[in-house]
Structure 1
């Protein structure tokens, strides 16, 4: 390895570190904590239901890390479309809907979260 390759690796690490910092700093800490607690509970449920293969374990862990960003996509799209609309429904229906929503967002987090991460990065660049 020559000096230029080492310098490029260091620059790449700094770039990744700054992007990760930008992503996590731009989100509300309470939102992140709440989302990661939900993610941890779902991860424990998925892992305890059966012994996953190595590939499935990797996907479950990726979903656990990416869940807050997939939830961000849903939350922002929902607030954009519905605004401050108030729905009056039975609590059982609301609880069931939230449970289904969270399970679907967790299950497909590996596909939905990149949209949330891109949204955060674009929003931060536009605001600056």
Structure 2
């Protein structure tokens, strides 16, 4: 079991995971602060709090999948675009990766397990 966890959840570098985790935590903090300012607060919204935590933990793996797919499609090309437009697209893709992390991250975890299993056996 330890080997499985190490090959999947330990498959990303620590610096990459921490960096992406911080960005995911920002989204969770925004949602939780909006919930706390509502008239009912967190009453009856434990599911949203739970999903925010799960999405934040899985966000780095979701972002890994997104960056891998985009990197494969785009290759080493460089595009020159307006910085404001690029930041808006970046925030949008981060929000999508965070909100869909529960569905996308298992793909990344499966790939990391497969990749790390191959590296160890060779």
Q: Which has the larger radius of gyration?
A: 1
TM score, norm. by length of structure 2: 0.86
> How many residues were matched structurally?
113
Residue equivalent to 2:30? 45
Q: Which runs of 5+ in 2 are unaligned?
A: 36-40
Residue equivalent to 1:23? 8
Residue equivalent to 1:78? 70
Higher relative contact order (CA 8 A, sep 6+): 2
- Which shows bigger deviation, 47-56 or 71-80? 47-56
Q: Which runs of 5+ in 1 are unaligned?
A: 1-14
Structure with the higher fraction of residues in helix conformation: 1
Find the aligned partners of 1:105 and 1:86 in 2 and give their Cα distance: 22
What is the SS of the residue equivalent to 2:78? coil
Please report the RMSD computed on the Cα atoms of aligned residues, expressed in angstroms.
1.3
